[in-house]
């Protein structure tokens, strides 16, 4: 089995500050992938960033970076210089070969609110 845990149901952050959203995972597979998705109030799921378990470096995509600590089984999302448009739900998700790479397991999400 595999599991994703997001322990922050909600966060309030001042605009322009950096944000860290926590994600821990559990899997017995040595090979796996971790994703972060953003869900704004309009409801669509927007892919943000991906980290493979064998990737040597932490993934980065613009203002998003993934703080991947394999030994601790954590894959925290870091948003630099937060903007009002970053207010949304954020989901961490994973895949693994034994579970089926076409099947995502999601965490329960973190609702991020950026304060002007």
Binding site for another protein (CB under 8 A): 4, 31-33, 35, 37, 43-45, 47, 50, 52, 91, 93, 95-97, 100-109
Provide the 3-class DSSP secondary structure of residue 51.
strand
Question: Which are the contacts of 36, defined by CB distance < 8 A and separation ≥ 6?
Answer: 21, 23, 47, 48, 49, 64, 66, 75, 77, 90, 91, 92, 93
Please state the closest distance from residue 4 (CB atom) to another protein, in A. Answer: 8
Please state the closest distance from residue 34 (CB atom) to another protein, in A. Answer: 10
For another protein, the closer CB: 44 or 71: 44
């Amino acid at each position: 089995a595999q599991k994703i845990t997001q322990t922050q149901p909600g966060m309030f952050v001042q605009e322009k500050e950096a944000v860290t959203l926590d994600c821990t995972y559990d899997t017995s597979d040595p090979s796996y992938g971790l994703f972060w998705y953003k869900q704004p109030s309009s409801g669509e799921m927007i892919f943000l960033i991906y980290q493979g378990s064998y990737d040597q470096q932490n993934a980065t995509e613009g203002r998003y970076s993934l703080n991947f600590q394999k030994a601790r089984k954590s894959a925290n999302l870091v948003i630099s210089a937060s903007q009002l448009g970053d207010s949304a739900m954020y989901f961490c998700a994973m895949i693994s070969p034994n579970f089926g790479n076409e099947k995502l397991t999601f965490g329960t999400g973190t609702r991020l609110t950026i304060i002007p």
